[in-house]
Amino acid sequence: MVIVLQTVKIGNVILESPLVLAPMAGVTNSAFRLLAKEMGCALVYSEMVSAKGLVYRQEKTKNLLRFFEEERPISVQIFGSDPDVMGEAAAIVADEGADIIDINMGCPVPKVVKNGEGAALMREPRKAYAVMKAVKDAVRCPVTVKIRKGWDENEVNALQIGRLVEDAGLDALTIHGRTREQFYSGTVDWTIIGKLAKSLSIPVIGSGDIASPQDVQRMLSDLRCAAAMIGRAALGNPWIFKHCLHYLKTGEMLLEPTLTEKVKMSLRHLQLLIGIRRETVAVKEMRKHIGWYLKGVRGVKAIKLQINKAETEVELRQILFSLLEKDDPNPIFKKIK
């Protein structure tokens, strides 16, 4: 089924398509976001940023706010549980030029929830409302929130929180269809996503195990979500945005990227990372990404051992070129140095 693609409006921000890149800690820096944008992603998110870190002027935290104009529109996701601190942090983010500010109420990791932050806020609806209202009142740009189905199967309160989101005046909501106790395992509850999308007047973005163009189509057509958020399926596969857009427009599936295309994208990613990191840091960070890019490639285990020992850009490039030479005696990348 072909879908007539429409723009998505979040406050005063217009998205050209319903495809969104999820915020992922340690992954969605500028390099990754730019690749997603180049492949047709309409909205990218920063890694989650500590509100306290911003208010206390921590340089490492402030660096997470950096982005390029080519990434717009961009949403910066902040986390915290103190309404005053969250409001002050939101003002800092807005001053840095973010198009949208997102409130994290879905992170399940213990070091976050033990402080009453992330998904733990869903257990305290009054505080959650106070946090959302404080952020909304502190800035002029659109404010959104990301939640989960609930804390566990005994505390499923996404619909209740959704009503509070509207009452606080927020501009959109993202729901991940798992509970906090599930983390990222088990089955995503698509039913709760659909119920929320149909019950709210603000845009609802569906999230959780969206791994194919068909998943996106179902999220939009069956569940009536305004947009679909893609996370882990984009690791080593920024093409997913291009493939989803093509499928939604034509009903046709594009071919999976070739080994040459994967290597080319790895090199592009490495180049972008070195543009925002010291070479040694970029190379170490790139190791995991190359592992994702080469997932399923024949003989990749031996290649990974070499990659994990690489310390320089030149070493990484040589390893990737050698992989191509085994696959093609006359690779086009011999010209690339």
pLDDT in tens, 22-55: 999 999 999 999 999 999 999 999 999 999 999 9
Domain tally, the chain:
2
Per-residue confidence (pLDDT) for residue 322, from 0 to 100: 87
Question: Does 2 fall in a domain?
Answer: no
Same domain, 136 and 37: yes
- Domain stops at, among 202, 224, 250: 250
Same domain, 204 and 299: no
d(CA 88, CA 194): 34
Question: What's the pLDDT tens digit per position in 270-311?
Answer: 999 999 999 999 999 999 999 999 998 887 888 889 999 999
332 — pLDDT class (breaks 50, 70, 90): very low
Q: Which domain holds residue 122?
A: 8-250
Q: Return the residue matching tokens 């395992």.
A: 185
Best CA proximity match to 23, nearest among 81, 64, 80, 82: 64
Q: What is the mean pLDDT of residues 160-174?
A: 98
Same domain, 22 and 139: yes
Per-residue confidence (pLDDT) for residue 48, from 0 to 100: 97
Residue 331 pLDDT exceeds 50: no
d(CA 31, CA 22): 14
Q: Return the residue matching tokens 């409130």.
A: 103
Q: Tell me which DSSP letter residue 143 carries.
A: E
Per-residue confidence (pLDDT) for residue 336, from 0 to 100: 41
Best CA proximity match to 171, nearest among 92, 75, 107, 54: 75
Per-residue confidence (pLDDT) for residue 333, from 0 to 100: 43
Q: What is the mean pLDDT of residues 90-103?
A: 98
Q: How far is CA 44 from the centre of its chain?
A: 6
Task: Report the SS3 class of residue 15.
Answer: strand
Same domain, 236 and 276: no
Question: Does 217 fall in a domain?
Answer: yes
The residues near 63 (Cβ < 8 Å, ≥ 6 apart) are none
d(CA 220, CA 4): 11
Which of 16-20, 157-161, 328-332 has the weakest average pLDDT?
328-332
Q: What is the mean pLDDT of residues 6-20?
A: 96
- Domain stops at, among 215, 250, 285: 250
d(CA 235, CA 293): 7
Q: Does residue 244 have an active-site annotation?
A: no
Contact 181, 152 (CB under 8 A): yes
Best CA proximity match to 127, nearest among 159, 86, 156, 93: 86
Same domain, 244 and 264: no
Question: What's the pLDDT tens digit per position in 136-150?
Answer: 999 999 999 999 999
d(CA 207, CA 195): 14
Best CA proximity match to 208, nearest among 20, 10, 13, 14: 20
- Domain stops at, among 199, 219, 250: 250
Q: Which of 41, 107, 141, 225 is catalytic?
A: 107
Residue 337 pLDDT exceeds 70: no
d(CA 104, CA 98): 16
Burial label for 3, CB within 10 Å (0-12, 13-18, 19+), is middle
Question: What's the pLDDT tens digit per position in 57-84?
Answer: 999 999 999 999 999 999 999 999 999 9
Contact 35, 265 (CB under 8 A): yes
Per-residue confidence (pLDDT) for residue 327, from 0 to 100: 56
d(CA 24, CA 257): 23
Question: Does 325 fall in a domain?
Answer: yes
d(CA 296, CA 256): 12
Question: What's the pLDDT tens digit per position in 240-277?
Answer: 999 999 999 999 999 999 999 999 999 999 999 999 99
Per-residue confidence (pLDDT) for residue 301, from 0 to 100: 84
* Residue 301: Cβ within 10 Å count: 9
